[in-house]
């Protein structure tokens, strides 16, 4: 646009250019000369006004994008610099032609340009004059270039607004193991405000707040590493599994199956808050959860965000973690996968992406059939070939995929119908990796029986990092309330029938300690002179319940309030979501909402780090 507008003004002065004869013709020249001069003045004014407006728009947008997102949009600086140079060139040309027409005699003005190339044979009377004039002319010519180069170099030298602290290299070499028991007292307590999401990294808990992302030391709760971008706005990942720390909150973190990397998004230049932008809705960042090192940082077009152990699916494009190189773009390849558009975001397979979720449940045809679907899968190394999974378990509330550390659950006997099960009897299910579903032979070899179940317990699976199954034969109270949309209102306190550990590829024995938390709550306890509150933590499987007293003011409601799950129902029951837990390397994290705000509005949490029992 700058080239077209400035060129139009410039061309107008060429067509209606001033002539020396018009300035000296007393009869007819004056009015025409005035008109031509007015055209030149208007053209120079128009070019100056347009250039000033264009430069202001470019620089203000650049400043807004840089301050809000940390991205240095060099293209805007280049446009501003080009506009400045073109406007100076055109105004100078118009001004010189107008002055020459007014000052030079007509016979000299009409002299051909090549006559100026002839050198005078007369010796120079004052050699210093031309040399000085040459230097002045060179300075005038080079000054705009120097000014523009400096203007372009200034923003390029401005550092990105990223505040980062990396963990020592030793952290990645000695990663903590998951706890296998529950200590009776917390090893540390930490209050964190403006929490957006909490996930398990490879070296401990990863906390995402409105200020940035940080990894905590599971031994003492100190900050191992942090990544902050002041002034940035973090985007929720729609289509992901529910955020267990708060009802109606979408997750902001996507964790790789091996927990080594975490991906998240910031609002991009398209969403700067003041109406300016360059059309990029998001910025995608991938961090190493052991060190906090940035593995990917690029502009994104939005859409689904999935992560494997070594790649991400960012909208329609696949990028390699580490190098950040783009390896595939579904929009540019006309294949069966090009027409797929997944609604799932979050953890994918170890090397497999979910590009579509097809809900096979036909509402109203069979009231005893479960909500299931077929997943369209592609390998990150061969994304042009699409594979369809057997009937797989989906979310109970919304027909979306469930993937826990690269694993999901499928129905052993095909599509779940009243012929092979029901909501009151369950269906035979199996655990399987997404990677194995790319091959029928591998799928058959890597299936693990889970028993009869009505589906995956998504909330318990998220908090434990295991594939946790709902009971296949709920009690009478659960049967009366359980349909595909009413799991949140179960009255049954227990919602776990089987626990599959992806790391060992075995079912965890329910009669042995596992270090997993089944239920957490706050109950009142009486002393001689006061009423105290105690946090109770019940393990998954065998093991003693851990409990510890919390300080006065740690909770807003009375200790016996249903808000804090005093009846010790399983974590999956959302009516007690003011208290939850997360299984991470090095410690189990009890997450408590200490405020009066409902969970879907609150962003402040108190974390209790519970290590495993110290061996004497």
pLDDT band at 176 (very low <50, low <70, confident <90, very high): very high
- Tally of CA atoms within 13 A in the half-sphere of 468 that contains its CB: 22
Query: End-to-end alpha-carbon separation of the chain, Å?
Result: 76
For residue 276, what pLDDT band results from cuts at 50, 70 and 90?
Answer: very low
CA-CA distance, 370 to 424, in Å (whole number)? 11
576: pLDDT strictly greater than 70: no
Q: How confident is the model at residue 247 (pLDDT cuts 50, 70, 90)?
A: low
Query: Rounded to two decimals, what is the model's pTM?
Result: 0.75
Instruction: Out of 184-193, 269-278, 507-516, give the one with best mean pLDDT.
Output: 184-193
Of 146-160, 356-370, 468-482, minimum mean pLDDT range: 146-160
Domain locations in the chain? 2-117+127-157, 164-610
Of 194 and 201, more confident:
201
Confidence of residue 395 (pLDDT cuts 50, 70, 90): confident
- Asked whether 306 and 315 are in contact (CB, 8 A), the reply is no
pLDDT band at 611 (very low <50, low <70, confident <90, very high): very high
- C-alpha closest to that of 352 among 307, 392, 394, 389: 307
- With bands split at pLDDT 50, 70 and 90, how would you rate the model's confidence at 156? very low
**Token couple for 234:** 């973090």
What's the average model confidence in pLDDT over 403-408?
95
CA distance 295 to 291: 11
Q: Is the pLDDT of residue 263 over 60?
A: yes
More confident of the two residues 614 and 322:
322
Tens-place pLDDT, residues 186-199: 999 999 998 889 99
């Amino acid at each position: 646009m700058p080239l077209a507008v400035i060129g139009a003004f410039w061309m107008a002065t060429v067509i209606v250019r001033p002539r020396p004869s018009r300035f000296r013709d007393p009869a007819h020249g004056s009015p025409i000369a005035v008109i031509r001069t007015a055209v030149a003045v208007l053209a120079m004014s128009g070019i100056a006004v347009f250039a000033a407006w264009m430069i202001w728009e470019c620089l203000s947008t650049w400043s807004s994008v840089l301050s809000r997102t940390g991205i240095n949009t060099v293209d805007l600086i280049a446009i501003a610099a080009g506009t400045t140079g073109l406007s100076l060139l055109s105004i100078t040309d118009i001004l010189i032609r107008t002055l020459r027409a007014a000052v030079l005699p007509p016979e000299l003005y009409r002299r051909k340009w090549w006559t100026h190339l002839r050198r005078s044979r007369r010796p120079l009377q004052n050699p210093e004059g031309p040399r000085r004039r040459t230097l002045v002319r060179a300075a005038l010519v080079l000054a705009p270039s120097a000014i523009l180069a400096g203007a372009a170099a200034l923003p390029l030298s401005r550092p990105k607004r990223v505040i980062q602290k990396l963990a020592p290299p030793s952290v990645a070499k000695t990663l903590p193991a998951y706890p296998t028991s529950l200590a009776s007292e917390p090893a540390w307590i930490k209050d964190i405000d403006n929490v957006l999401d909490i996930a398990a990294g490879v070296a401990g808990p990863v906390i995402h707040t409105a200020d940035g992302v940080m990894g905590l030391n599971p031994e003492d709760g100190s900050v191992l590493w942090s990544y902050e971008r002041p002034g940035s706005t973090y985007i929720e990942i729609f289509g992901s599994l529910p955020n267990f720390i708060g009802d109606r909150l979408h997750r902001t973190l996507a964790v790789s199956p091996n927990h080594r990397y975490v991906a998240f998004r910031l609002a991009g230049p398209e969403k700067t808050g003041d109406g300016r932008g360059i059309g990029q809705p998001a910025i995608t960042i991938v961090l190493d959860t052991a060190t906090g090192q940035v593995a990917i940082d690029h502009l994104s077009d939005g859409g689904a965000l999935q992560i494997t152990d070594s790649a991400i699916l960012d909208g329609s494009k696949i990028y390699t973690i580490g190098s950040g190189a783009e390896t595939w773009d579904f929009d540019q390849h006309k294949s069966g996968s090009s027409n797929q558009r997944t609604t799932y975001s979050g953890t994918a397979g170890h090397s497999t992406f979910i590009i579509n979720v097809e809900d096979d449940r036909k509402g109203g045809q069979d009231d005893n059939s479960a909500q299931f679907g077929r997943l369209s899968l592609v390998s990150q190394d061969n994304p042009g070939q699409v594979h369809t999974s057997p009937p797989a378990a989906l979310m109970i509330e919304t027909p979306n995929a469930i993937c826990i550390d690269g694993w999901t659950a499928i129905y052993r006997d095909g599509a779940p119908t009243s012929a092979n099960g029901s909501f009151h009897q369950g269906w035979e299910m199996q655990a399987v990796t997404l990677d194995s579903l790319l091959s029928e032979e591998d799928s058959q070899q890597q299936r693990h029986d889970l028993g009869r179940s009505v589906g995956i317990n998504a909330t318990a699976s998220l908090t434990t990092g295991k594939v946790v199954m709902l009971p296949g034969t709920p009690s009478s109270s659960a049967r009366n309330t359980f349909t595909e949309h009413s799991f949140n209102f179960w009255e049954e306190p227990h919602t776990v029938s089987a626990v599959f550990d992806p790391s060992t590829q075995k079912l965890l024995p329910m009669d042995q300690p596992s270090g997993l938390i089944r239920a957490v709550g706050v109950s009142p306890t009486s002393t001689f002179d006061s009423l105290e509150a105690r946090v109770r933590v019940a393990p998954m499987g065998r093991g003693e319940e851990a409990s510890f007293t919390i300080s006065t003011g740690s909770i807003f409601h009375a200790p016996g309030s249903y808000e804090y799950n005093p009846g010790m129902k399983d974590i999956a029951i959302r009516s007690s979501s003011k208290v939850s837990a997360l299984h991470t390397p090095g410690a189990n994290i009890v997450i408590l909402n200490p405020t009066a705000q409902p969970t879907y509005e609150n962003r402040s949490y108190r974390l209790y780090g519970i290590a495993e029992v110290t061996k004497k």
